[in-house]
Amino acid sequence: MLKSLVVALVATVSAALVAPQAVAATDVGVTDPNLHYAGRWHADGSLRVPNWAGAYVQTSFTGTTVRVKLRDAVNIYVSIDGGADVFHQGVRGTVNLTPTPLASGTHRLRIAFRSGDTVFGGLVLDSGARTTNPNVSPKVLEFVGDSITAGYLDSKLALSSYGWLVGQKLGLPRTIVARAGYCLVAKDGCVGQSTQFFRLASTGTTSWDFSRYQAAAVVVNLGTNDAGRGVAASTFQSTYTQFLSDIRAKYPNAAIFAFETLKRRYVPETKAAVTARNNAGDSRVYFVNTEGWLTADADYVDGDGHPNDQGQAKIADRLAPIISARI
């Protein structure tokens, strides 16, 4: 009996000595210097919260797996190593983004937030793995507008929008400061981007800290909704002129583009605003003529209102070289 107990004890100790020990994974907090936040984000304790449309976080990392820490149900798009976006619907908690482990090496990761509880809590990597610098260009593209710029009614919303696609084509980070129903001039319940653009989020009055990044290009596509609100042509023109001046004050070196609305609304006034800025000595403000870019019905979800995915891609094809030539 004693001999059996000794043998069992020795076997137990031996098994414990040779059994693999659990190794702690590597936690990546939201302040990790190799996390690049594109868009307008704010801190909420140990979390980071995106604002406006199409905000994303990207990094590079070593190892074979990566998980993201989320809070409540959220819809996100994930791209690894430049691959196609994978849609994760209604996920929460710590979510495995690599159910099939990757090859050993350094990988690229981009997580874009679509809707839901859009809160980022960090990453979890393999034990001994680490983040590395994703080498993001400092040339940020910023797109300001309404539902058309936000990708409203498109398959991936902001990720299908012309602004997002231009950024992809040029290999540059992009921010989309747009929301459905917004105007240039605030009137009759229509939020005016002439004011809201300077805020942290699409609602509220908290100011955005423009020292966080400097845009290399700003594309303004506004006026479509103003016409339906009865904004006078003279009011639109003066507001647009001031808006371009106010953008210049925040981004001294950016190329600023006034995008002709697809419905051709307030075209003379938009051109006049650009001319006024040019005459004031600002030669880096440009009018973008969009006539002939899209075909009614074929390139729209709803006749001639909101571009479909194909229409958004056509706009990006035309707009990308215009921006590239001036930045």
Domain definitions of the chain by residue range: 26-132, 140-324
The CATH T-level fold of domain 26-132 is Jelly Rolls (2.60.120)
Over residues 2-9, mean pLDDT = 42
Instruction: Kindly list the distances between the CA atom of residue 296 and the CA atoms of 147, 222, 308, in Å, as whole numbers in the listed order.
Output: 17, 19, 11
The pTM (predicted TM-score) of the whole model is: 0.92
Cβ neighbours for 249, distance < 8 A, ≥ 6 positions apart: none
Residue 2 identity: L
Q: Is the pLDDT of residue 319 over 90?
A: yes
pLDDT digits (tens, 9 = 90+) for 143-166: 999 999 999 999 999 999 999 999
Contact 319, 164 (CB under 8 A): no
Average pLDDT along the chain: 94
Task: Name the pLDDT band for 23 (thresholds 50, 70, 90).
Answer: low
Over residues 273-282, mean pLDDT = 98
CA-to-CA distance for 307 and 153, rounded, in angstroms?
Answer: 8
Q: What is the pLDDT of residue 82?
A: 97
- Report the CATH number of the 140-324 domain: 3.40.50.1110
Residue 150 identity: A
Q: What is the pLDDT of residue 24?
A: 82
pLDDT digits (tens, 9 = 90+) for 34-93: 999 999 999 999 999 999 999 999 999 999 999 999 999 999 999 999 999 999 999 999
Cβ neighbours for 84, distance < 8 A, ≥ 6 positions apart: none
Over residues 195-200, mean pLDDT = 98
Q: What is the pLDDT of residue 17?
A: 41
